[in-house]
């Protein structure tokens, strides 16, 4: 079977042998253990003793980080489809614009000691504006710029979106360039070489929202780079750290209004 036939026979891209799958979150339930029986080949719930104090202490040490990810790019390049592929492992062309979500959430277990909770902001509510509001960029940890391999103009417009990003986003934001619709080989009019040259030292991945190729891997690598950036910032002297959140907004002249000193009463 050819690659084209495989995709046509499986339009949602749920092919375990070829495409990246995003597993659902798994939650551990206290006082309950699941074991697998080799004889019958099925999962059997097994009651167990409550989790020990040692396990509880380890559980309390799990660190939770919250990251905000924003998307930028021209209409029709598949931004929402990429987000939904990663968040829900589903694919939609989103022909009905009203059906699109503005914000997606995803929890990722980075390792046994760290959980990352992602807030992924789509452009659905700001795409019709001439200029995205500053609130869209505010406090973002990562930015994903998307172009379509089947639309050279969308690649050319990345320069505009990069300038918008660096004019409005926090200084320490981590950037990822995604070339979407890599499965449309017959329509490809952007070369990998020119896309890599544009990305420079930033993360660059060729993906397909429809087929699922490399989508999960791209997000995972972006998360790792954000964590590494935070670790680097933590080692810097206080006066060299990048301001974020409320501190950053204050540095941009958005401080609270100065309190008017109370007038002293005259004694006579």
Q: Quick check: 47 pLDDT over 60?
A: no
- The answer to whether 32 touches 226, Cβ cutoff 8 Å, is no
Question: How large is the greatest C-alpha to C-alpha distance in the chain, in angstroms?
Answer: 100
2 domain-assigned = no
For the chain, helix (H) and strand (E) counts, in that order, are: 9, 8
Same domain as 103, residue 39: no
Range of the domain at 32: 26-58
Same domain as 188, residue 211: yes
Mean pLDDT score across all residues of the chain: 76
Q: Quick check: 33 pLDDT over 50?
A: no
Same domain as 129, residue 42: no
Same domain as 128, residue 45: no
Q: Which residues of 121-137 are buried (b: 16+ CB within 10 A; e: fewer)?
A: bbbbeeeeeeebeeebb
pLDDT digits (tens, 9 = 90+) for 163-216: 999 999 999 999 999 999 999 999 999 999 999 999 999 999 999 999 999 999
pLDDT digits (tens, 9 = 90+) for 63-107: 999 999 999 999 999 999 999 999 999 998 765 555 556 899 999
What integer pLDDT is reported at residue 95 of this predicted model?
Answer: 56
What integer pLDDT is reported at residue 1 of this predicted model?
Answer: 52
Domain count, the chain: 2
Given strand 103-111, what is the order of strands in its sheet? 103-111, 114-121, 63-73, 142-148, 174-180, 203-206
DSSP string for residues in 35-53 = EEETTTTEEEEEE-PPPPH
What integer pLDDT is reported at residue 236 of this predicted model?
Answer: 84
Other Cβ atoms less than 10 A from the Cβ of 92: the count is: 16
Same domain as 166, residue 37: no
Q: Quick check: 149 pLDDT over 80?
A: yes
Cα–Cα–Cα angle for 226, 219, 110, nearest 5°? 65
Same domain as 46, residue 146: no
């Amino acid at each position: 079977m050819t690659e084209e036939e495989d995709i046509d026979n499986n339009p949602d891209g749920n092919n375990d042998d070829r495409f990246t799958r995003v597993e659902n979150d798994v939650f551990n339930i206290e006082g309950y253990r699941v074991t697998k029986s080799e004889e019958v080949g099925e999962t059997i719930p097994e009651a167990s003793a409550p989790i020990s104090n040692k396990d509880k202490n380890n559980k309390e040490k799990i660190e939770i980080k919250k990251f905000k990810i924003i998307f930028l790019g021209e209409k029709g390049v598949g931004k929402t489809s990429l987000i939904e592929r990663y968040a829900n492992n589903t694919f939609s062309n989103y022909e009905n614009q009203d059906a699109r979500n503005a914000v997606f959430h995803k929890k990722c277990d980075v390792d046994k000691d760290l959980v990352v909770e992602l807030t992924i902001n789509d452009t659905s509510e700001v795409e019709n504006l001439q200029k995205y509001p500053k609130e869209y960029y505010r406090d973002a940890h990562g930015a994903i710029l998307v172009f379509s391999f089947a639309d050279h103009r969308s690649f050319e417009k990345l320069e505009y979106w990069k300038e918008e990003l660096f004019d409005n986003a926090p200084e320490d934001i981590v950037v990822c360039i995604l070339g979407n619709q890599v499965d449309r080989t017959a329509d490809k009019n952007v070369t990998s070489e020119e896309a890599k040259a544009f990305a420079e030292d930033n993360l660059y991945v060729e993906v397909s929202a429809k087929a699922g190729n490399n989508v999960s891997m791209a997000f995972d690598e972006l998360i790792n780079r954000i964590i590494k950036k935070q670790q680097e910032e933590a080692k810097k002297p206080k006066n060299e750290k990048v301001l974020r959140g409320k501190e950053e907004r204050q540095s941009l002249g958005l401080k609270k209004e100065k309190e008017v000193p109370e007038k002293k009463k005259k004694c006579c």
